[in-house]
Amino acid sequence: MSDPGTDAELRARRASSFGDQASAYARHRPDYPRAALEWGMSGANRPVRDVLDLAAGTGKLTQGLADLGRSVTAVEPDPGMLAELSRRLPDVPALLGKAEDIPLPDESVDAVFVGQALHWFELAPAFAQIRRVLRPGGVVAALWNHDDESVPWVLEFSRLIRTGVSRGFTEADQPLRAAGFGPFEQDQFAHTHRRTIESLLATVATHSLLLVASDDDRDRRLAEARAYLESVPETGTGEFDYPLVTTVLRARRS
């Protein structure tokens, strides 16, 4: 097994591990449910017209926000991910940039959405920047898709694969606070992703802990997960609905 290095090195490698896999990422990661996006927006006390998708990746969340009729700008630090986003969504303004230095003017958007990425940010400078680009009464909403581990076979699959997909800041011991914002509120939304064993394993292979794992470690974990899925009645024969939960945290700019 390769030396994983220090925690800070591993974190930095994971945060920048997605670009080489941009097209696999776009094909295999799940969307976000419409109800979750609407709940995030309803935290604003102003009409939500202009939306920033921060850490937009290949545009999974961008697409959902555009489908709700919003004018969306995408910001993403990885050129490979951003190129994939522009290929898929050529009409969306797409800018290279980081959460800690957002390339937008002051008070230029009504909502900032962050899909599956807030845990990569340096939180204090990122929230200062998010507050700067939000209009008063605007909202920041952070979303994470994760496996619905209340379903026994999903729990066992997650245990086997252990990709470390972050659930964000929902743990009671890690409440989220941000200067210049009201308190964070949380809600959860169940949904599913139509899958086969092949497509589910392809998704898992785009999670950052596996992207930075050694080839041997990655192959071993994927082989164990495949054997398990083939043995389970719910997943062993063709297509199935993979149970997911989307957690949303939202806070209003004061």
x/- track of binding to ligand SAM for residues 107-136 (CB under 6 A): --------xxx--xx---------------
Cα–Cα distance for residue pair 202/222, rounded to 1 Å: 9
Which ranges in 42-78 belong to alpha helices (H)?
60-67
Contacts to ligand SAM from residues 22-41, by CB under 6 A: 29
201: its two tokens: 């394993």
Q: For the purposes of burial, counting CB atoms within 10 Å of the CB of 16, is it exposed (0-12), middle (13-18) or buried (19 or more)?
A: middle
Q: Is 146 in the site for ligand SAM (CB under 6 A)?
A: no
Which residues make beta-bridge pairs with 145? Answer: 246
Of the candidates 37, 41, 52, 55, which one interacts with ligand SAM according to CB under 6 A?
55
Handedness of CA 155, 159, 161, 162 (dihedral sign): positive
Cβ atoms 128, 179 nearer than 8 A: yes
CB closer to ligand SAM, 58 vs 235? 58
x/- track of binding to ligand SAM for residues 72-101 (CB under 6 A): ----xxx--x----------------xxx-
CB closer to ligand SAM, 29 vs 221? 29
**Applying CB under 6 A, which residues contact ligand SAM?**
15, 18, 29, 55-57, 60-61, 76-78, 81, 98-100, 115-117, 120-121
